[in-house]
Structure 1
């Protein structure tokens, strides 16, 4: 049931009273939902405590307490410390991001007590009257009570066509206004709105796709988690039933193997690295809606940018208004043109940078002249590239010359070419000879005047694009403006191959689009749907694509890009849809985001090698022990000692080091190639030491201590290798950890089960230590050669396949 016309007018002018708002708040009819992509405080705490591996550690601790092996509980402080650190860092990152999200929260213009005011969209209530204009995201389900708008519902329905909404039509939350202006009455708010129901459904299905790094770590954790239970059972069975060990010795040996196989600090390291990176970016006014965007942008090899708001500043200004001379050589008097432009600008309901610039210009003209009353108007559309206003003396059109003039475009080229070549944006104001423009321009348009606009180039634009060029990142400029104009601006910004441009309106097939992407760097007259297809085509070709923009015409492409970056000064809907928001709209921050991503991925990758070495060694030695029926030679406290000083502390310290190296290859493969030689060296060296120790009838304490020292030697060898090239900081990290391990081995030897070794045992340790260094070196060379051979064969196969 809809309101009558008089009721609607009253509602629009007055809106709700404060008493009516308070009543709806009490009823819970507020546009607030608890559905969020971020974790709550409770979720952060529980997600760090209630983990699968913490459960395993808890069971292990109970087993050790049961057999009275309290000395081997040395891993517990590390696990508890890891958990606390992880909680604290995530809470700190959440606190900073929550503050930034409040600053960047969507706002709405609402009418209450007959007064327009701007409030946070979450404070709206049911039956509120809101004013919607181009660039606004519709915050709750509503229906139009006055005015008309063009709405894009692609984010909800997948359909990219712009839908006209007039009085009585429904507006779905989550869609966004492309053009026009209207008053709307809210129907379903908060958890009852369409977008909230979709979000809730999506949340029950699963979380967003994770980055490659997180996926790889999750895969490692998954398989290790599956494997440790049967291996633990086998080790206990073998030690207690086959080797005749005591129940205490069997449990202690089993626990030592399991602790070695669990990458207890790797996930924590990744979480902390991402949290610290998020906080560092926050200090540079960069808001991350999605953590995976850090890695995605670091891997980007194609950057798609819009012209307005990205290369240039969002604001526009009218340089001049020139009369057209193509009407039989007759020039319309300047006063008439100014009057028409004033009338047009006041009649059109568009709310974009172009209209703002024109209105700012017309405010200085004809202030005291009576304005014509419009009979009808059509807002600007990014699809048609023009707007229109109908007065009593005819219909007038303002828009892109190519789309307004169509087949007559070449007639006006001589008049505008000079401005286009200088990078100016040119709009044409003309009189339509037909009567209805809503079905398209089917009749001729008589050109009356040219409106010359310009966007100032962003500061540091040249420096920023120069950085991406040095990093091997290809820049594609995709804009709705004239391709020549865009090309000139791109040249001024220093974008490589900016003189290679094309009009996207001729790219009507996917094959033409794919071919053009290989040849051209600048694409003009691109529709929103084409922007999306350009991104998709680049991704199909194997590229990692980032898309930057500030307008609603960029949203579809940004949602499909691997990483999307929005300027906060642009459309509110765009900022909400993007993964990364530059709160101060400074494009110069882009290199900062890339470098942060590189630091996180490269450092976590390097530290992951250290963790994986221990996992590979423990797994293989456990299998070795089962196959050759000897008891696992190490104790949990010894594994803890090695983990602290060759993995944990150096891993975390290296993860904080600046790292600008470009990311290459796949995370899991890169880690495995570097970790496998050290893991194999460990198991071969320790396995051989155990065999020799038994041959020389050495005590089990001697063998365990020698194995611990041997693992420490190999640990520091791999630490030095992955830290190269070494600098003062890295030398300090290595020396500090060697000193720490030596200190614990000498002064805390009882705690870590380090006993005095016999002379034969010391001699065997020295021999195997030197052998381990050589073995590690040759295994590293061999695995690298095998990988190179694999890459060459793969490249050859791909070349044959393409041929």
Structure 2
């Protein structure tokens, strides 16, 4: 490419400063993390917190100040959530600064790499294959193919020449050019329609969906239950106003799983911070969960199994052509096309001196065409790319030689010549093969270990590449991929039905077009798989967008990083097992801890409704629930949620949670029902009933905690016995504070059988739920 004067010099520093002073700076429309003020507000002003404040106001109004202790838990929850989210925000902001795309700009005759926000009006951008266009601009020299799918949805690349406009948010699929910035900031096309060039999609998160459902269901039910319970206690049962208010508040506090939302945010925020220490930037919080559930991982060979760099092993002549003529043709073609990809860089690494041929037309490499070419005055056209795409029906003449070298894991490119000039982007006629270029990929050192990890974890690996199928299969085999011989050439998959059938059947796919990568991911998802996709090139963008979880390499194209939920900052595929393990730790621990919260919420909802219809008063005070929640839910849930856990995720989130929580909740509810029926008939005082209810409920909560702590280790044993000890000390030595009374002989005679019944009921309910309800859920 011959640059004109404006391209070669760009703006001067004085011109840049002048535009900055006038505010003609691009800035950035990148989706930012929340501000610290927004984080504080988001953790403090929540529907549950507002409800808790209203309930606390009622407690203050009736003067029962000790029952305000539950607000201490609320305040601690808000503080913990705020601190963890601020830490995660600072980590993400720091890493995003490192991973932020840069723009190649000419200033004062020097090419510079600048943050896209530092661009000013009239800057000259140097755009090459893989670059995302960060500001509306007009081409002043060169030509390229542009993919505008991120902003228009159209997937076909569009050829752009001098004086054509380039839209922000699109990216260069092939070729290179110089372009003058004509719009900046909010004036950019992408900013006007979306306020961001970033592709957004709804997270595929079971946890987020179920937590939102729980909040909605409880939110709709809590107010009518509270009104009915208060009305019954005050107007029908004739309880004093203070007791009616305290009982109603206790019932409603029990129904609120305020810690569940906090716990989910904290666990995922901690995971983001942990992964940041291992050079992984998580751009979408819930993608950690999705990746942990992945059962199919689609890999692009380049940059994942291999290092992304290549080397030329040999040049094999196919006709009577001298070495010098072959090298001149290669050098002239590579210089004219000026591609920036691993193959072109490997050829440039040969250090060949280009001849002074006059280029009249150049076509950059496209992953859809599989070739590049250049026409020269009085020299015809030289082509470089996949032999079967260049020679088509004539490829059979050299296919055996190509297959021979492909079988050794080499990538084979054909250098061909035609006496005719290129017209548009179509191949000329009368093509003669000149030579084969043999290239090889460098396999990553840890590729074998990483692939073995996924195989052991039952994750199906699909290698999807635009290279020759045999070459890809051999590289995959060298890297240690199981079933690497199960390979197919995607160019033979002529319709969608064939491709869908092949998606499940084959392990390695070669000669895959960008559209076919997208269709393969869609097919796998339609077949019920949770699909993750890794990639680093522009040809991976469509498939990355479609996958359930997208992972990009920091060394890859701007476009691939823009659409991905996770970016590997060290561009090392070996980091993937660590990310999967972190996701499993988060989800397994969240399932275990969420079951503790749901025990309380389900139990509280059941008995709140129950006591609308029974004559006995509600047996709990808020401070008693605070004690029970602290030892059986609050403290254990946070400790259990942050420990190591690499077990494979099985089943659905809510099914797993309900399987562990329903037995405890039903046992607690049955205990209270039996207690009320017996104690009221024996005319126990409200304080005596309350004492028995606290002991029974606390015992059942600790029993549930015991089940959740299985398998036991030293940490679990210490946690369980510490919580049990705190509960015992509280009911023995702090009775007045928690509204409890001494046990009498009649109380003991009732309590012992109910405790034994609680143990039996827990096992009975667990068996029923496991065998009946869970069987239907599955």
Given candidates 601, 606, 626, the residue that maps to 1:615 is 601
Tell me the equivalent position of 1:151. 146
Report the Cα offset of residue 370 of structure 1.
4.5
CA separation of 1:127/1:206 partners in 2, compared to 1, >3 Å: closer, same or farther? closer
1:201 and 1:372 map into 2 onto residues whose CA distance is 44
* TM value normalised by structure 2: 0.97
Tell me the equivalent position of 1:222. 216
The answer to whether the aligner puts 1:340 opposite 2:329 as a matched pair is yes
Given candidates 523, 526, 539, the residue that maps to 1:540 is 526
Report the Cα offset of residue 437 of structure 1.
4.8
2:611·2:617 contact (CA, 8 Å) conserved in 1?
Answer: yes
The answer to whether the aligner puts 1:434 opposite 2:420 as a matched pair is yes
The answer to whether the aligner puts 1:353 opposite 2:342 as a matched pair is yes
Tell me the equivalent position of 1:379. 364
The answer to whether the aligner puts 1:298 opposite 2:292 as a matched pair is yes
1:744 and 1:211 map into 2 onto residues whose CA distance is 40
The runs of at least 4 consecutive aligned structure 1 residues that moved more than 6 Å come to none
2:143·2:160 contact (CA, 8 Å) conserved in 1?
Answer: yes
Paired residues for 1:92-491 under 5 Å: 92-200=87-195, 208-209=202-203, 211-325=205-319, 331-361=320-350, 363=351, 365=352, 367=353, 370-392=355-377, 393-441=379-427, 443-491=429-477
Aligned to 1:502, the other structure's residue is in SS state: strand
2:535·2:553 contact (CA, 8 Å) conserved in 1?
Answer: yes
Coordinate RMSD, CA, aligned: 1.8
1:134·1:177 contact (CA, 8 Å) conserved in 2?
Answer: yes
Tell me the equivalent position of 1:684. 670
1:694 and 1:595 map into 2 onto residues whose CA distance is 53
1:575 and 1:789 map into 2 onto residues whose CA distance is 42
2:541·2:563 contact (CA, 8 Å) conserved in 1?
Answer: yes
Aligned to 1:319, the other structure's residue is in SS state: strand
Tell me the equivalent position of 2:86. 91
CA separation of 1:376/1:659 partners in 2, compared to 1, >3 Å: closer, same or farther? same
Deviates more, 1:467-476 or 1:251-260: 467-476
The answer to whether the aligner puts 1:63 opposite 2:48 as a matched pair is no
Report the Cα offset of residue 756 of structure 1.
1.6
2:584·2:648 contact (CA, 8 Å) conserved in 1?
Answer: yes
CA separation of 1:104/1:667 partners in 2, compared to 1, >3 Å: closer, same or farther? same
Deviates more, 1:745-754 or 1:573-582: 745-754
Aligned to 2:616, the other structure's residue is in SS state: coil
CA separation of 1:740/1:60 partners in 2, compared to 1, >3 Å: closer, same or farther? same
Report the Cα offset of residue 693 of structure 1.
1.2
Tell me the equivalent position of 1:3. none
1:312 and 1:774 map into 2 onto residues whose CA distance is 58
Residue by residue over 1:489-520, the C-alpha shift from the partner in whole angstroms, topping out at 9 and shown as x without a partner, is 11112222110111111212111011112321
1:383 and 1:370 map into 2 onto residues whose CA distance is 29
Report the Cα offset of residue 34 of structure 1.
5.5
2:298·2:462 contact (CA, 8 Å) conserved in 1?
Answer: yes
Aligned to 1:472, the other structure's residue is in SS state: coil
Tell me the equivalent position of 1:672. 658
Residue by residue over 1:697-754, the C-alpha shift from the partner in whole angstroms, topping out at 9 and shown as x without a partner, is 2111111111111111111111111221111111111011112222333343333223
1:35·1:199 contact (CA, 8 Å) conserved in 2?
Answer: no
Report the Cα offset of residue 10 of structure 1.
4.3
Aligned to 1:265, the other structure's residue is in SS state: helix
Structure 2: 5+ residue stretches without partners: none
Report the Cα offset of residue 435 of structure 1.
2.5
2:193 and 2:187 map into 1 onto residues whose CA distance is 10
* TM value normalised by structure 1: 0.94
1:426·1:451 contact (CA, 8 Å) conserved in 2?
Answer: yes
Deviates more, 1:662-671 or 1:541-550: 662-671
CA separation of 1:34/1:150 partners in 2, compared to 1, >3 Å: closer, same or farther? closer
Residue by residue over 1:51-75, the C-alpha shift from the partner in whole angstroms, topping out at 9 and shown as x without a partner, is 0011001111111000001010010
Aligned to 2:73, the other structure's residue is in SS state: helix
1:68 and 1:439 map into 2 onto residues whose CA distance is 83
CA separation of 1:491/1:787 partners in 2, compared to 1, >3 Å: closer, same or farther? farther
Given candidates 592, 600, 615, the residue that maps to 2:586 is 600
2:150·2:197 contact (CA, 8 Å) conserved in 1?
Answer: no
Report the Cα offset of residue 648 of structure 1.
0.5
Q: How many residues align?
A: 776
1:136 and 1:93 map into 2 onto residues whose CA distance is 29
Aligned to 2:246, the other structure's residue is in SS state: helix
Aligned to 2:211, the other structure's residue is in SS state: helix
CA separation of 1:72/1:190 partners in 2, compared to 1, >3 Å: closer, same or farther? same
Report the Cα offset of residue 527 of structure 1.
0.5
Report the Cα offset of residue 35 of structure 1.
5.3
1:298·1:597 contact (CA, 8 Å) conserved in 2?
Answer: yes
Report the Cα offset of residue 14 of structure 1.
2.9
Given candidates 729, 735, 750, the residue that maps to 2:736 is 750
The answer to whether the aligner puts 1:774 opposite 2:774 as a matched pair is no
CA separation of 1:784/1:777 partners in 2, compared to 1, >3 Å: closer, same or farther? same
CA separation of 1:60/1:503 partners in 2, compared to 1, >3 Å: closer, same or farther? same
CA separation of 1:283/1:466 partners in 2, compared to 1, >3 Å: closer, same or farther? same
Report the Cα offset of residue 577 of structure 1.
1.6
Given candidates 711, 714, 731, the residue that maps to 1:725 is 711
Deviates more, 1:454-463 or 1:738-747: 738-747
CA separation of 1:370/1:496 partners in 2, compared to 1, >3 Å: closer, same or farther? closer
2:29·2:195 contact (CA, 8 Å) conserved in 1?
Answer: no
1:33·1:196 contact (CA, 8 Å) conserved in 2?
Answer: no
1:433 and 1:749 map into 2 onto residues whose CA distance is 100
1:302·1:475 contact (CA, 8 Å) conserved in 2?
Answer: yes
Aligned to 1:145, the other structure's residue is in SS state: strand
Report the Cα offset of residue 442 of structure 1.
5.2
Report the Cα offset of residue 416 of structure 1.
2.4
1:206 and 1:43 map into 2 onto residues whose CA distance is 21
1:206 and 1:181 map into 2 onto residues whose CA distance is 27
1:228·1:261 contact (CA, 8 Å) conserved in 2?
Answer: yes
Report the Cα offset of residue 201 of structure 1.
8.6
Report the Cα offset of residue 27 of structure 1.
3.1
Structure 1: 5+ residue stretches without partners: 1-5, 326-330, 795-803
2:35 and 2:197 map into 1 onto residues whose CA distance is 18
1:750 and 1:373 map into 2 onto residues whose CA distance is 98
Residue by residue over 1:324-352, the C-alpha shift from the partner in whole angstroms, topping out at 9 and shown as x without a partner, is 14xxxxx2111221222222222222111
1:423·1:489 contact (CA, 8 Å) conserved in 2?
Answer: yes
1:599·1:658 contact (CA, 8 Å) conserved in 2?
Answer: yes
1:234 and 1:37 map into 2 onto residues whose CA distance is 45
Aligned to 2:191, the other structure's residue is in SS state: helix
Residue by residue over 1:191-226, the C-alpha shift from the partner in whole angstroms, topping out at 9 and shown as x without a partner, is 2222223333999x9983351111111110111111
Deviates more, 1:166-175 or 1:17-26: 17-26
Report the Cα offset of residue 131 of structure 1.
0.5
1:678·1:718 contact (CA, 8 Å) conserved in 2?
Answer: yes
